[in-house]
């Protein structure tokens, strides 16, 4: 199952991929583009990836989750240019009961953020832009947007 996409993410369609007849729950998480970061006003952003490794890591995370819990997992991460409110990442977990659904969903999104080689370039309302570096705050690269 491919996890990276440049198309808008449909969380309902993602949930449909993980539901089974013995499942009583679909637990989902969607991460959206917000209009602020570090006190700055964000207009839009773009995601880029090391695609071969990102796909491998998403598949490994889903596999680890499905080994640890009796669940079915689907992950989508959007690449390219996104605007405020767009879904950047979505996780759907199908399970018999809600407890393992919530636990799996939390595990998966935290592992995606920790392990999947994807980068975010923010474009600010004042015309500047910067690569986001969660380890050192935002590395600001002043540049005029045209």
Partner 1 sequence: MNGYRVQLLARYAELLGAEELAVDLPTPATVSMLTDALRALPGGSALPAQPVLARNLRIAAPGDLIEPGDALALLPPLAGG
Residues binding partner 1 (CB under 8 A):
31, 47-50, 52-54, 56, 77, 88-89, 109, 112-121, 131-136, 139, 141
Q: Name which of 54 and 74 has its Cβ closer to partner 1.
A: 54
Give me the torsion for CA of 56, 61, 62, 66, rounded to 10°.
140
Residues 2-24 as b/e (b if ≥16 CB within 10 A, e otherwise) read ebbeeeebebeebbeebeeeebe
Q: How far is the CB of 70 from partner 1 (least distance, A)?
A: 25
Q: How far is the CB of 133 from partner 1 (least distance, A)?
A: 5
Q: Name which of 17 and 56 has its Cβ closer to partner 1.
A: 56
- Tell how strand 71-78 and strand 4-5 pair up: parallel
Q: How far is the CB of 130 from partner 1 (least distance, A)?
A: 9
Q: Name which of 24 and 137 has its Cβ closer to partner 1.
A: 137
Q: How far is the CB of 23 from partner 1 (least distance, A)?
A: 25
Q: Name which of 34 and 97 has its Cβ closer to partner 1.
A: 34
Q: Where are the beta strands (DSSP E) in 1-146?
A: 4-5, 25-32, 36-37, 40-49, 71-78, 80-83, 87-95, 118-124, 129-131, 139-141
């Amino acid at each position: 199952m491919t996890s990276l996409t440049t198309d808008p993410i449909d969380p309902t369609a993602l949930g449909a991929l993980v539901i089974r007849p013995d499942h009583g729950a679909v637990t989902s998480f969607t991460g959206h583009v917000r209009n602020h970061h570090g006190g700055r006003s964000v207009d839009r952003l773009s995601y880029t990836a090391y695609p071969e490794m990102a796909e491998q890591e998403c598949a490994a995370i889903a596999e680890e989750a499905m080994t640890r819990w009796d669940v079915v997992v689907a992950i989508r991460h959007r690449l390219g240019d996104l605007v405020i409110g767009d879904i950047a990442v979505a996780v759907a977990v199908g399970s018999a009961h809600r407890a393992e659904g919530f636990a799996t969903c939390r595990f998966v999104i935290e592992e995606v953020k920790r392990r999947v080689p994807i980068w975010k370039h923010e474009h600010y309302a004042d015309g500047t832009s910067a690569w986001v570096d969660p380890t050192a705050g935002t590395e600001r690269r002043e540049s005029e947007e045209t």
